[in-house]
């Protein structure tokens, strides 16, 4: 036995169906329009590992030495600051200051200064010692292969 649907209920069901249909179809339609898609693709940064032959980098022969090198396409083609902290201990940072993107200078003692607005970063871990930067320098993992005198830097 079927009940007759009242006009109010029929109208409610119609509105619900239209709303549900739009909710399902609209994202599909938008995804067909590249300019309207909410999932705009971001360029992905390349990743990989590079080998730096330390015998060819005189600045890194001594503990406390530092060198800047570019490993395109990594680090958006900006330089990397490599610092020798010990006989077998190294750190590698992006030179890009996290304040407004200037290249940081070579370290002075335990400090990596930025020449643009005075930010200062710690040599050991890149943390901010003095603003205006608020975030640490980007650090890339590195591993020293003593047998080959090679530094492996991972991006």
- Residues forming contacts to ligand FES in the complex (CB under 6 A) are 97, 99-102, 114, 116-119, 132-133
* Residue of 88, 80, 86 lying closest to 126 (CA atoms): 80
Query: Between residues 10 and 135, which has the closer beta carbon with respect to ligand FES?
Result: 135
What DSSP element (H or E) covers 66? Answer: strand 66-70
The least CB distance from residue 98 to ligand FES, in Å, is 8
Query: Between residues 132 and 155, which has the closer beta carbon with respect to ligand FES?
Result: 132
Query: Between residues 9 and 117, which has the closer beta carbon with respect to ligand FES?
Result: 117
The least CB distance from residue 45 to ligand FES, in Å, is 21
Query: Between residues 15 and 135, which has the closer beta carbon with respect to ligand FES?
Result: 135
SS (H, E, C) 72-136: CCHHHHCEEEEEECCCCCEEEEECECCCCCCECCCCECCEEECCCCCCEEECCCCCEEECCCCCC
The least CB distance from residue 105 to ligand FES, in Å, is 10
């Amino acid at each position: 036995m079927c009940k007759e649907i009242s006009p109010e209920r029929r109208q409610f069901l119609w509105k619900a169906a239209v709303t549900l249909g739009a909710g399902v179809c609209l994202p599909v339609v938008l995804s067909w329009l590249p300019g309207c898609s909410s999932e705009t693709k971001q360029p992905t940064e390349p990743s990989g590992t590079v080998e730096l032959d330390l015998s060819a980098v005189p600045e890194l022969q001594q503990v406390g030495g530092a060198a800047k090198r570019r490993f395109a396409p990594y680090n958006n083609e900006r330089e990397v600051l490599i610092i020798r902290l010990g006989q077998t201990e190294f750190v590698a940072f992006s030179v890009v200051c996290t304040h407004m993107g200037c290249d940081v200078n070579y370290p002075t003692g335990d400090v990596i200064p930025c020449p643009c607005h005075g930010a200062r970063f710690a040599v050991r871990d890149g943390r901010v010692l003095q603003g205006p930067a608020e975030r640490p320098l980007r650090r890339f993992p590195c591993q020293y292969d003593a047998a080959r005198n090679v530094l492996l830097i991972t991006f």
